[in-house]
Amino acid sequence: MEKAVEKVKEITKEESFDVAIVGGSGIDIGKAEVEIPYSEIPEMPQTAVPGHKGVLKFFRAGSKKVLFFEGRFHYYEGREDWEIRFIPELSANLGVKVFIPTCASGAVSRRAVESEIGVIYDHINLTGRNPLTGLIKEYGSRVFVNGKKFYDRRLVETFLKAGLEENVKTVPTVLAATLGPNYETFSEVRMLEILGVDCVSMSTVPDVIAANFYGMKVVALTLFTNDTLQPEADHKEVLKISQERGEKLRRVLKAGISLI
């Protein structure tokens, strides 16, 4: 990790950063001052999923120095826990205080179907995996992070306000994370509705758990890309909708960061 930290500092010519964003499927932040392929960062895993380019971008949003990880790692790829933890751990070691994972998700609740962007304030982990597994041997009771405090309430309110100011249909959201890579059955969607879920994704929740473990404040945003009750579900279509709505997400992200 030390070599990765030093390489990012060397290329960006910055010693620390304020915010880190993780881009979900097809989500980009646009132009940046500096772009670093993951392949140039020592020990960093490489992306393998379409829509996850594997580039670390550095840009400024007002007075904030922001890192944007264009591409993440998923358990359904067969990744190990350390790979899932890598981006949050690198961010924390670079001085990041606010961690913002984003994702594309399928809308479950009708309010999500009628909206464009969700600000996640709680989640249900249905992956059967946890990136902190085994760390008790090294960190002891520190691994018992409080799930009720995963999402910073002030940040959630800030990004909901940003969505309102940017005239983007933004709603508070409960996210369910499944392991994937298959999309949900009709019965699974009905189960998610009963559980009180607004949307479902195959990512983000492991990032949130790891980011809390490393001491960062967290808020997460999602693009609703499809109605889970519709019979058709396709990754290419998810990427297409992500790109179409990406400009709105960028606006909300930058507006929210300026309010932090």
Q: Which active-site residues does the annotation give?
A: 25, 52, 74, 76-77, 104, 202-203, 226, 235
Q: Could you say which of 3.40.50.300, 3.30.360.10, 3.90.400.10, 3.40.50.1580 is the CATH number of the domain covering 2-259?
A: 3.40.50.1580
Among candidate residues 203, 229, 238, the one with its CA nearest the CA of residue 109: 229
What's residue 159's pLDDT? 97
Model confidence at 231: pLDDT above 70: no
What's residue 25's pLDDT? 72
pLDDT band per the 50, 70, 90 thresholds, residue 27: confident
What average pLDDT does range 172-178 have in this prediction? 98
Task: Select the more confidently predicted residue: 239 or 230.
Answer: 230
Instruction: Judge contact between 97 and 51, C-beta under 8 A.
Output: no
pLDDT band per the 50, 70, 90 thresholds, residue 238: low
Model confidence at 218: pLDDT above 80: yes
What's residue 52's pLDDT? 66
What average pLDDT does range 197-207 have in this prediction? 96
Domain boundaries, the chain: 2-259
Task: Select the more confidently predicted residue: 63 or 20.
Answer: 20
pLDDT band per the 50, 70, 90 thresholds, residue 228: confident
What's residue 49's pLDDT? 79
What's residue 129's pLDDT? 97
Over residues 115-169, the pLDDT tens digits come to 999 999 999 999 999 999 999 999 999 999 999 999 999 999 999 999 999 999 9
pLDDT band per the 50, 70, 90 thresholds, residue 47: confident
pLDDT band per the 50, 70, 90 thresholds, residue 51: low
Model confidence at 26: pLDDT above 80: no
